[in-house]
Amino acid sequence: MKSDKEAKVSKGMGIKSRRIIAYIVLVIISFLCLSWFYVLFINSTRSHAELTKGFTPVPSSYLMINWKNLSGGRAASALPIWYGLFNSFFISTLSAALCTYFSTMTAYAIHAYDFKMKKFMFTFILMIMMIPTQVTALGFLQLVGKMKLDDSFIPLIIPAMAAPVTFFYMKQYMESALPLSLVEAARIDGSGEFRTFNSIVLPLMKPAIAVQAIFTFVTSWNNYFTPALILHTDKKKTLPILIAQLRSTDWLKFDMGQVYVMILFSILPVIVIYLLLSRQIVQGVAMGSVKG
């Protein structure tokens, strides 16, 4: 009896020690992840002269001055930051909405229907994931030029509908969260395919849609390569392009404080959207990682 009791005590202590170690590791990782945001905030409160002297953990008093110089100073005529914010938000929001909706629809077609080329189509879509964007950039630009869509938002929004990574995640999520018996029951009750998809499938896929919506939004928001090739008018450019232009200005006009304020300004909407969808994101990641 004594040995069993000691074994239970030692087992409990082992579990407790592992839990403590896990908490310590999570705290360290969280500190490392959040420290860069703190550095960004500190640097945005400092002037260009202070930034050249090195980093200090104490914030300065130049935050509003840097913002006024950015939004109302010499850089304002060359960098329409409010247009850039609207452009980034417009492109990212539509891209996230179209990507998640049509990727979910494609995954539903592969999951719920049986046809001859089903396995081939699934494999073919996954093969597209292997092709980098840079490889197809030249052909994409030629196509955009022939369609006379240069300097337009359309080439940045419509291609986002075809996202193999989002499709694969939705397909894996459906295997654990969408029983085919539910779809068959809806068909027996006389529900049409689109009504079944919009009224039954989409509500069940809310956690997964929230996960992929934030991922797609952030990817589109931070995208610099494709918008830099497509957009040429200053008032149509997105925030990453404007940040790059601000960093590449003349050395005599270059102000690192304005650059940090611009970066801080550009990531705030992403943080807000993440906070709004954080509960669904955690739930979607947890359920999507378990295959029933």
The crossing angle, in degrees rounded to 10, of helices 256-288 and 63-72 is: 100
- Check whether residue 13 and residue 146 sit in a common domain: no
Tell whether 128 and 234 lie within a shared domain. Answer: yes
Domain that holds residue 179: 69-288
The verdict on 36 and 150 lying in the same domain is no
**Burial state string for 279-288 with b = 16 or more CB within 10 A and e = fewer than 16:** ebbeebeebb
Give the total number of structural domains in the chain.
Answer: 2
Residue 19 resides in a domain: yes
Segment 25-51 mean pLDDT: 89
Q: Is it the case that residue 3 has pLDDT exceeding 70?
A: no
The DSSP code sequence of 173-198 is HHHHH--HHHHHHHHHTT--HHHHII
pTM equals: 0.81
- Report pLDDT digits (tens) over 218-276: 899 999 989 999 998 888 999 999 888 887 666 566 778 888 888 888 888 888 877 77
59 occurs within a structural domain: no
Q: Are residues 166 and 30 in the same domain?
A: no
User: Does 58 have pLDDT greater than 50?
Assistant: yes
Q: Which amino acid is at 216?
A: T
pLDDT digits (tens, 9 = 90+) for 201-233: 888 888 888 888 888 998 999 999 899 999 988
Q: Residues 11, 99: one domain?
A: no
Does some domain include residue 120? yes
Look at 140 and 77; give whichever has higher pLDDT.
140
Whether residue 116 sits in one domain with residue 18: no
186 and 102 share one domain: yes
Q: Which of 208, 201, 181, 183 is nearest to 287 (CA)?
A: 208
Whether residue 237 is contained in a domain is answered as: yes
Higher pLDDT, 287 or 24: 24
pLDDT range class, residue 75, cuts 50, 70, 90: very low
Q: Are 131 and 268 within one domain?
A: yes
Give a yes or no: residue 61 inside a domain: no
Residues 33 and 93 in one domain: no
